[in-house]
Chains A and B, each alone.
Chain A
Amino acid sequence: MASFRLTQVASHLNGTKAPRTQIGVQSPDDIIIVQALRTPITRARKGGFKDTTSEYLLGTILRGLLERTHIDPTLVDDICVGNVCPPGGGATTARMAALYAGFPNTTSVQTVNRQCSSGLQAVVHIAHAIQAGMIDVGIGAGVESMTQFYGPQHKLIPDTISDEVMEAPQVADCIIPMGLTSENVSAEFCIPRSKQDAFAALSHQRAARAQKLGYFNEEIYPVRTKIADKDGKETEIIVDRDDGVRPEATAESLGKLRAAFSADGATTAGNASQVSDGAAAVLLMKRSRAKELGLPIQGKFVASAVAGVPPRIMGVGPAYAVPAVLKKTGLTVAQLDIIELNEAFASQAVYCVETLGLDINKVNPKGGAIAFGHPLGCTGARQISTLLTELKRQDKRVGCTTMCIGGGFGMAAIFESEH
């Protein structure tokens, strides 16, 4: 008898500690998202932003976030911006953009490059900084002008690389063009071209339908900018929609395209993500702070994880990152209501959907990068705005964003809608 009572008291002191962030539970220390917002995404060199520079795009979306949330800019401690291609990592242009947007010079700015996940990594850096108490209020953002900084004339890899380093295992794999990593995935995991084209067509169909029904209206902040015609004459325009979407695309029509990266390959321009321009930004703080400031809460950041994979098949990244983040949260794949899986290539997207056992109806319900583009640094932040608005529209709760990353990684994060 006494021993049972003793064991009971001991059990109280050895109980399983509850996780700090739980689905369906609100804690004053939760890291919440006041608002996630994005610009439209346009085709690099040809679309609405072809004459728009990255600091203007970033500055505009930061301004948009201030406008929509009505937050006092002086309260924002730090802005972290993900971008991949610009010179100097975009650090100076990001600072310029913040000042242009109306933030005081007391708001700090930093940039981050984790390739295609940069926008997500930026948001996660800010979430962690708030959790650690380094800052109180922050913005995680992403921007990429692939018109300005991506292409054969722009070097992302230096001319001179040490021979000794290049000889080490897997190092040479790091400079395989992304399209060839897609071919590696297609071949190694036997993803037929037909499946890839079908997936690509689905992306376009879903994006077209979402555009028609106005499902993107809440996440998009229209951008006033200038565009020059072939004679250099400038006109002012308002860009308010993604211009890469092809409503008429079918698996059959995409099947006619030539392989783009290898002669007998499966990856074409039609089943790969588009090269695009765009920006996105997410305002984060603790729940207690949002309540104090009287700000609405769009969603909650739950957890994130990153996983390393072989560089030559970098596309498999999400197949490792998603299980890693699910393990952290104790959730199962079935408990995810919507998954934003970046469509770098249909090959890797199909592989990840099948390997993870995802319900295709829960994956990219508004289409993905194949339909509307993948502005590299922007995507990770953009996915959050697409995810939270769609969770609200479908009246669902738990979402996951994930992407593969050049160099051989995957990243994934879990969010909960608080609509």
Chain B
Amino acid sequence: MFPCKYRTAGFKGYAVKFSPFTDRLLASAASANFGLVGNGRLSILTTTTTNTSNSRTQSNTNNSPLTILPQQHYDTQDGLFDLSWNELHENQLISASGDGSIKLWDITLKTHPVAKWKEHKREVMSVEWNYTAKTTFLSSSWDGSVKLWNPVHAQGSVQTFSEHNGCVYTAAWSPRHQDQFASCGEDKSIRLWSTNAPQGRSIASFGGHTDQVVSLDWNKYSPDVFVTSSTDRTIKIWDTRNLRGSVTMFGPFEFPVRRVKFCPFSPHFIASAGYDMSASVWDVRNGSVTFVHDAHTEFVFGIDWSYFHPGQIASCGWDEQIHVFNVPLPQ
């Protein structure tokens, strides 16, 4: 199926996220010069089912987007590596920047962010809004820390969690316990935390990957289960109840997977995107790949599922392309 495309000209895609509030609204975080040096761009986009470029009509279901239209974009001093939509305010989102700052944007405004937090000492690699408690968000950084923020907290971060050695690539909220989150990093470890734990100590640690762990996401239906991807070229599925470590593994592949995301509509599917320049969908019940999207021509770093259309995926990569396409979710 011909993917719906948009080009963030001059900026290489690092992350793409669908809005949890508004159908067909999505944003991408991209960086000039592959994110190595230079500016960043936060692009606000909408998908539309009407083909506005010419008058030829095509039959399609309500689910199939035909075009991606730019709505707004914001340029930043340093590259952007991640973004997350505000779960309380439909027009707001936060961006994670290479200069250690996190900015809060309102898409009804044309140029400047509405808030900026600069505490991390190095690149902010991920941000995620708490989608259960909704009032807080996490950031993870190359400075080895994960920070908890509340936008109304004027003094800055609420708490800092520093146990990782080196870059913390991803911090992700638990879908069931609004105080719990997991993080993964360059030190090959995965840590489970609670914002209620005394002295900010992690509550569990998971080992097993033989190289850096770059992405982590929780199963939205089996809330003790999470998936990770690593530069050891595997994807692993973990169960927090199973500290003995019976873990399911896919791979090793030829190239690492850079981002993994569990489907919001089914406990059985994971979307992955990586250095093999493709995006795939996995059925975790048997480890089979149910869909491969190989239209990208560079590393694919960003992937997300739509919250409104089951099976709709957005991907972005270093080829400056954002693709939106639909995949089957077989029972």
Contacts and interface: CB of A to CB of B under 8 A. Distances in A.
B168 interface: no
Contacts, number: 84
Given A11-B231, A15-B231, A288-B286, A25 B236 contact: yes
B296 interface: no
Contacts of B275: 12-13
Nearest to B166: A8
B232 A8 contact: no
A26 to B, nearest CB: 5
Contacts of A291: 286
B233 A15 contact: yes
B2 to A, nearest CB: 30
Give the 5 A-B residue pairs with the shortest CB-CB distance, closest first. A15-B231, A28-B287, A15-B211, A18-B232, A24-B245
A132 interface: no
Interface string B245-262: 111111110011010000
B250 A12 contact: no
Given A12-B231, A15-B231, A25 B36 contact: no
By DSSP majority rule, is chain B's interface helix, strand, loop, or mixed?
loop
A19 B232 CA distance: 9
A323 B108 CA distance: 66
Given A12-B231, A288-B286, A291-B286, A25 B208 contact: yes
B167 interface: yes
Nearest to A28: B287
B244 A18 contact: no
A8 B185 CA distance: 12
Main secondary structure of the interface of A (DSSP, over half): mixed
A13 B255 contact: yes
Given A11-B231, A18-B232, 14 more contacts: A2-B33, A5-B36, A6-B36, A9-B36, A12-B258, A15-B212, A15-B233, A16-B210, A17-B233, A25-B246, A27-B249, A28-B287, A28-B288, A291-B286
Contacts of A24: 208, 244-247
A20 B252 contact: yes
Contacts of A292: 286
Interface of B: 33-37, 98, 123, 167, 208-212, 214, 230-234, 236, 244-252, 255-256, 258, 275, 286-288
A298 interface: no
Contacts of B212: 11-12, 15
Contacts of A165: none
A15 B230 contact: yes
A27 B34 CA distance: 34
Of the four ranges (under 10, 10 to 19, 20 to 34, 35 or more), the interface on chain A belongs to 20 to 34
Contacts of A1: 37, 98
Given A13-B256, A288-B287, A26 B211 contact: no
Given A1-B37, A2-B36, A5-B35, A18 B245 contact: no
Contacts of A2: 33, 36-37
Contacts of B232: 15-18
A18 B251 contact: yes
A407 B246 CA distance: 40
B121 to A, nearest CB: 12
Contacts of A250: none
B256 A12 contact: yes
B98 A5 contact: yes
A292 B287 CA distance: 12
Nearest to B318: A9
Most chain-B Cβ atoms within 10 A of its Cβ — which of A5, A13, A288? A5
Contacts of B33: 2
Contacts of A8: 167
Contacts of B255: 13
B248 A27 contact: yes
B239 to A, nearest CB: 11
A166 to B, nearest CB: 49
Contacts of B209: 18
Contacts of A12: 212, 214, 231, 256, 258, 275
A110 interface: no
B125 to A, nearest CB: 10
A12 B169 CA distance: 12
A22 interface: yes
Interface in A1-50: 1-2, 5-6, 8-9, 11-13, 15-20, 22, 24-28
Contact of A28 (B214, B246, B250): B250
Contacts of A26: 246-249
B286 A25 contact: no
A15 B123 CA distance: 21
26 contacts: A1-B98, A5-B36, A9-B34, A11-B231, A12-B212, A12-B256, A12-B258, A13-B231, A13-B256, A13-B275, A15-B211, A17-B232, A17-B233, A18-B209, A18-B210, A19-B252, A24-B244, A25-B245, A25-B246, A27-B249, A27-B250, A27-B251, A27-B287, A28-B286, A28-B287, A288-B287
A28 B34 CA distance: 35
A292 B283 CA distance: 14
Interface in A102-120: none
Interface in A191-237: none
A25 B210 contact: no
B230 A18 contact: yes
A13 B277 CA distance: 13
